[in-house]
Amino acid sequence: MQQASIYLSHPGIINALGSGRESIAAALWQADTSGMVDETGWIPQRTIPVGRAQGQLPDIPPHLRKFDSRNNQLLLAATLQIQAEIEAAIAQFGPHRVGVVLGTSTSGIAETEAALRVMRTTGELPETYDYAQHEFGSPSRFLSEYFGLTALAYTVSTACTSSAKAFQSARNLIRHRLCDAVIVGGVDSLCNLTFNGFHALESISSTLCNPMSVNRSGINIGEGAALFVMRRDASPFQLLGIGESSDAWHISSPHPEGTGAKQAMQYALQDAALSASDIWYLNLHATATPKNDAMESLAVAEIFSAGVPCSGTKPYTGHTLGAAGATEIAICALAIQDGKMPAHHWDGCADTEMPALNLVTAETATDAVAPRICMSNSFAFGGSNASVILGAGL
Residues involved in catalysis: 160, 285, 319
Closest among 392, 44, 376 to 238, alpha carbons compared: 392
* Residue 104 to residue 110: CA distance in whole angstroms: 13
Q: How many CB atoms lie within 10 A of CB 220?
A: 27
Query: Is-contact 288 205, C-beta < 8 A?
Result: yes
Query: Is-contact 196 356, C-beta < 8 A?
Result: no
Q: Strand 237-246 vs strand 12-15: parallel, antiparallel, or unpaired? A: unpaired
* Residue 230 bridge partners (DSSP): 8, 182
* Residue 215 to residue 347: CA distance in whole angstroms: 8
By CB atoms closer than 10 A (0-12, 13-18, 19+), residue 352 is exposed
Directed axis angle between helix 70-81 and helix 83-93, to 10°? Answer: 80
